[in-house]
């Protein structure tokens, strides 16, 4: 295991990478990508808010729209600075690299099939009939249960648990502490005073498609019979819970502390903001959005934005909230009107 050495890049090389137009000397060397307030000679900052120009060092380089440049500024002109910023973060990423092989402290079943072009880190435990593809990185202290599959290019950070029968696709990133494939919360309640709730066995698995990202401390439960499914390209934040049998479509964004109950169906490109939730067996249509703290307890049509609890059309919810905030004023006016009417009656 080794650290990547810092690589100095020229302005020309960076411009080619992000598809921008150079202002200044293309041979100028850039050694660091920084925020505007930490800029200095040899650094590069991305600007999309004009107010941040005031924070930029006079000899620093910038990436921005053409209108942000003057005679003294040098850097790279781009049409979409935010997109350029995301690409530059990939370019300047200095994460630790890993060499192929199995660490001597790892415990690996004799029936596991591990690519010679994979890295299995310290104290990993690999169960029976597990398959690990090429260029997979298992950083350390990772448990992978029997019959699970991790396909090529996937990166799993420390202390992740994959229970049995979990299938992870290509180029997936799973952050530290995630637990995937634990039993779903299938319980038959008892209403008899002497009986106890009964657990329903969960014998399905979890299927995670290609290019998914799963945040730290997120939990994805196994299905009762069929797999819980996470569609390709979906990005899941930290501390999210996805219950048994849930079906998550492609390219969804599920933000921190959200919860999806059992057998819910989430369409393609759905966005669930922080602390939002979906009730069991509810369907959320493709391209719909659930605002922060929103709770969908009935089906959500495709392409709309809902908020509140119970979740309803976002504009309708805002109108209701505006009316709610006026209740003290309306109540005072009502009391004044009652008093006035009462006084009029006494005069008669």
pLDDT tens digits, 161-170: 999 999 999 9
- For 65-93, how does the pLDDT look when each residue is reduced to its tens digit (9 = 90+)? 999 998 888 999 999 999 999 999 988 88
Q: Mean per-residue pLDDT for 32-48?
A: 92
Q: Is pLDDT of 1 > 60?
A: no
Confidence (pLDDT) at 339: 87
Tokens describing residue 33: 């990508």
Confidence (pLDDT) at 313: 85
Cβ(181)–Cβ(168) below 8 Å: no
Confidence (pLDDT) at 215: 98
- For 103-138, how does the pLDDT look when each residue is reduced to its tens digit (9 = 90+)? 999 999 999 999 999 999 999 999 999 999 999 999
**Structure confidence at residue 232 as a pLDDT band (50, 70, 90):** very high
**Structure confidence at residue 194 as a pLDDT band (50, 70, 90):** confident
Q: Is pLDDT of 347 > 70?
A: no
Tokens describing residue 65: 């729209």
**Structure confidence at residue 7 as a pLDDT band (50, 70, 90):** low
Percent over 70 (pLDDT), the chain? 97
Set 239, 241, 244, 317: catalytic member = 244
Distance CA 217, CA 238 (A): 6
- Calculate the alpha carbon distances from 4 to 100, 135, 233, 284 in Å: 15, 17, 28, 43
Q: Mean per-residue pLDDT for 333-341?
A: 89
Q: Is pLDDT of 37 > 60?
A: yes
Confidence (pLDDT) at 344: 66
**Structure confidence at residue 348 as a pLDDT band (50, 70, 90):** very low
Q: Mean per-residue pLDDT for 51-74?
A: 90
Alpha helices in the chain (DSSP H): 11-18, 81-91, 314-325, 327-347
Cβ(264)–Cβ(281) below 8 Å: yes
Higher-scoring residue by pLDDT: 218, 97: 218
Confidence (pLDDT) at 3: 38
Among 21-30, 123-132, 136-145, 207-216, the least confident range = 21-30
**Structure confidence at residue 94 as a pLDDT band (50, 70, 90):** confident
Confidence (pLDDT) at 317: 81
Q: Is pLDDT of 288 > 60?
A: yes
Range of 38-42, 71-75, 118-122, 343-347 with top mean pLDDT: 118-122
DSSP string, 154-193: -EE-TT-EE-TTEEE-TT-EE-TT-EEEEPP--EE---ST
Q: Mean per-residue pLDDT for 263-275?
A: 98
Q: Is pLDDT of 2 > 60?
A: no
Distance CA 227, CA 204 (A): 5
Give the up-direction half-sphere exposure of residue 223: CA atoms within 13 A in the CB hemisphere: 20
Q: Mean per-residue pLDDT for 210-236?
A: 98
**Structure confidence at residue 346 as a pLDDT band (50, 70, 90):** low
**Structure confidence at residue 225 as a pLDDT band (50, 70, 90):** very high
Mean pLDDT of the chain: 92
Q: Is 244 in the active site?
A: yes
Cβ(102)–Cβ(84) below 8 Å: no
Cβ(166)–Cβ(209) below 8 Å: no
pTM to 2 decimal places: 0.82
Confidence (pLDDT) at 191: 86
Distance CA 49, CA 82 (A): 10
Backbone angles phi, psi at 324, to 5 degrees: -60, -40
Confidence (pLDDT) at 10: 92
């Amino acid at each position: 295991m080794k650290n990547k050495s810092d690589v100095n890049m020229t302005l020309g090389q960076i411009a080619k990478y992000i598809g921008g137009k150079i202002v200044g000397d293309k041979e100028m060397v850039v050694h660091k990508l920084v925020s505007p307030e930490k800029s200095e000679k040899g650094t590069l900052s991305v600007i999309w808010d004009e107010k941040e120009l005031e924070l930029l060092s006079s000899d620093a380089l910038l990436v921005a729209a053409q209108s942000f440049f003057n005679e003294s500024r040098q850097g790279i002109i781009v049409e979409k600075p935010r997109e350029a910023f995301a690409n530059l973060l990939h370019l300047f990423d200095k994460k630790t690299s890993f060499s192929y092989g199995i660490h001597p402290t790892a415990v690996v079943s004799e029936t596991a099939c591990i690519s010679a072009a994979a890295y299995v880190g310290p104290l990993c435990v690999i169960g029976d009939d597990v398959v690990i593809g090429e260029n997979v990185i298992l950083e350390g202290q990772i448990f992978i249960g029997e019959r699970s599959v991790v396909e090529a290019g996937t990166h799993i950070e420390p202390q992740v648990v994959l229970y049995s029968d979990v299938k992870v696709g290509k180029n997936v990133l799973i952050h530290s502490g995630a637990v995937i494939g634990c039993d779903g919360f299938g319980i038959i309640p008892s209403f008899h005073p002497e009986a106890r709730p009964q657990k329903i066995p969960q014998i399905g698995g979890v299927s995670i498609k290609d290019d998914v990202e799963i945040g730290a401390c997120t939990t994805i439960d196994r299905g009762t019979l069929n797999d819980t499914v996470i569609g390709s390209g979906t990005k899941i934040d930290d501390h999210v819970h996805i219950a048994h049998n849930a079906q998550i479509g492609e390219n969804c964004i599920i933000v921190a502390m959200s919860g999806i109950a059992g057998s819910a169906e989430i369409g393609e490109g759905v966005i669930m903001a922080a602390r939002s939730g979906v009730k069991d067996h509810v369907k959320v249509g493709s391209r719909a959005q659930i605002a922060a703290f929103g709770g969908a307890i009935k089906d959500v049509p495709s392409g709309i934005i809902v908020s509140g609890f119970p979740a309803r059309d976002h504009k309708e919810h805002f109108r209701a909230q505006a009316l709610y905030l006026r209740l003290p004023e309306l109540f005072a006016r009502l009391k004044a009107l009652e008093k006035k009417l009462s006084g009029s009656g006494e005069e008669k």
